[in-house]
């Protein structure tokens, strides 16, 4: 099998370049983790060409395996590839801080902020996610499913995820996609290796993985041995970021069980924050910043929000840093490249399933909604309008539709 190596980036970039791009994405990336992957693909594969399509698909596949917020982990890996460890931190800061700051502010003024939310604008933001995800599915399918076997894997993967909608089913579908690729796909010269440069060796990766498990095991022991509210917060939120597959909405029940029963956060405050989290761009894991802000016992306020935010995202950094050096080596193995073709086809199927549920089902409820989504798709796919501008136009369109309906 051919294993020609391609570089995923012509040259290294600067930390400020990474921060600037991800800050823009952090302000405009509405629609949840699946939509985020669409925004990332458009920005880094299509427009800036920091990554080849195959390298990006392999990153998505890796982060689907890892617990935690998949879109944030993909962003961290892209920043790491572009500008080393400072780039990884810059990518996370840019993508995370806008929504975290908004939710901390909401924590300080729940009633005023809640009344200011216009439901039409929110609905328009859900609609634009339909267009973003549809564009990503179409583009990835053309590149990663060019033949009947891989299209079949994608279709079966989508059907399975829709039939058994659990986070673990997604991991199972990816594994089965790899097995199918290994068994039925043939070496046809499409085996170029698109390198993901992390700048990290296996020793650094091993240290990060050991640190991840050591902290996960040690924190509960320390929290019981040393009664301290800050330590208890770090333990609860680190565990939430370590043990949840699927990210996004899947983490909410765990956060509820960690914060409401002990009396740290009231049920009403939790639900109010959950509603506000739907109105902000970026990763839903920034909900942790809100919870830390409205905590009853100290530390709370902005300091509590910062502690919870860092604790819930720390596992993502350790897992990406730990897995990437080994993942890039595994991807070079000939038989693994066959499996990865099947895995990438399965990832396309996962995105296709997510396009229907929850993206389509939560956004498209009328002909007007469909018309707005179709217009957004035309702007993105045909006229190449910048995604941030399409987001603004769809939000305004949603507000306009609500006014007409009154």
What are 252-263's pLDDT values in tens digits?
Answer: 767 888 898 899
Give the Å distances, CA to CA, from 131 to 44, 135, 232. Answer: 18, 6, 41
The pTM for the full model equals: 0.82
The string of pLDDT tens digits covering residues 330-345 is 877 778 888 888 988 9
Burial 40-62 (b: 16+ CB within 10 A, else e): bbbbbbeeeebbbbbbbbbbbbb
User: What is the mean predicted confidence (pLDDT) over 380-389?
Assistant: 85
Q: Look at residue 121 and tell me whether its pLDDT is greater than 90.
A: no
The string of pLDDT tens digits covering residues 147-178 is 999 999 999 999 998 998 776 787 788 889 99
Q: What is the pLDDT of residue 128?
A: 84
Helix (H) or strand (E) holding 6: strand 5-7
User: What is the mean predicted confidence (pLDDT) over 51-69?
Assistant: 88
φ/ψ of 195, rounded to 5, equals -70, 140
What is the CA angle 177-137-99, rounded to 5?
105
Q: Which has the higher per-residue pLDDT, 221 or 128? A: 221
E strand spans, 159-204: 193-195
What does pLDDT average to over the chain?
A: 86
User: What is the mean predicted confidence (pLDDT) over 128-155?
Assistant: 89
3-state secondary structure of 69: coil
At a CB cut-off of 8 Å and minimum separation 6, what does 22 contact? 75, 79, 90, 91, 92, 93, 94, 95
At a CB cut-off of 8 Å and minimum separation 6, what does 224 contact? none
Is residue 252 within 8 Å of 287, Cβ to Cβ? yes
φ/ψ of 193, rounded to 5, equals -100, 110
3-state secondary structure of 137: helix
Of the ranges 98-102, 244-248, 267-271, which is most confident?
A: 98-102
The string of pLDDT tens digits covering residues 261-303 is 899 998 878 877 776 776 788 898 999 999 999 998 889 999 9
């Amino acid at each position: 099998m051919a294993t020609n190596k391609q570089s995923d980036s012509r040259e290294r970039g600067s930390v400020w370049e990474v921060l600037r791009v991800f800050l823009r994405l952090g302000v405009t990336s509405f629609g949840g983790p699946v939509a985020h992957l669409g925004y990332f693909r458009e920005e880094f594969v299509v427009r800036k060409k920091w990554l080849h399509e195959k390298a990006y698909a392999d990153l998505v596949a890796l982060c689907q395996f890892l617990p935690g917020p998949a879109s944030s982990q993909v962003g961290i890996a892209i920043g790491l590839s572009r500008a080393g460890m400072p780039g990884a931190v810059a990518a996370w800061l840019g993508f995370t801080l806008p929504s975290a700051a908004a939710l901390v502010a909401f924590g300080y003024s729940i009633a005023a902020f809640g009344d200011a939310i216009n439901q039409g604008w929110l609905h328009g933001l859900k609609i634009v996610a339909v267009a973003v995800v549809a564009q990503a599915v179409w583009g990835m399918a053309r590149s990663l499913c060019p033949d009947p076997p891989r299209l079949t894997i994608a279709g079966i993967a989508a059907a399975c995820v829709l039939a058994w909608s659990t986070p673990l089913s997604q991991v199972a579908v990816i594994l089965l996609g790899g097995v199918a690729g290994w068994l039925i796909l043939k070496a046809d010269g499409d085996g170029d290796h698109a390198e993901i440069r992390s700048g990290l060796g296996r020793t650094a990766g091993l240290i990060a993985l050991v640190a991840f498990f050591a902290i996960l095991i040690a924190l509960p022991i320390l929290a019981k041995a040393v009664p301290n509210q800050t330590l208890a917060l770090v333990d609860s939120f680190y565990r939430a970021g370590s043990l949840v597959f699927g990210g996004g909405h899947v983490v909410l029940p765990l956060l509820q069980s960690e914060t409401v029963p002990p009396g740290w956060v009231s049920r009403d405050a939790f639900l109010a924050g959950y509603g506000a989290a739907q109105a902000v761009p970026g990763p839903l894991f920034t909900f942790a910043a809100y919870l830390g802000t409205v905590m009853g016992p100290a530390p709370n306020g902005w300091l509590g929000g910062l502690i919870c935010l860092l604790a819930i995202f720390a596992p993502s950094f350790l897992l990406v840093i730990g897995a990437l050096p080994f993942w890039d080596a595994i991807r070079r193995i000939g038989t693994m490249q066959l499996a990865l073709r099947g895995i990438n086809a399965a990832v396309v199927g996962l995105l296709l399933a997510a396009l229907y549920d929850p993206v389509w089902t939560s956004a498209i409820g009328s002909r007007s909604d469909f018309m707005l989504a179709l217009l957004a798709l035309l702007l993105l796919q045909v006229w190449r309008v910048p995604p941030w501008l399409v987001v603004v136009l769809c939000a305004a369109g949603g507000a306009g539709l609500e006014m007409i309906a009154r």
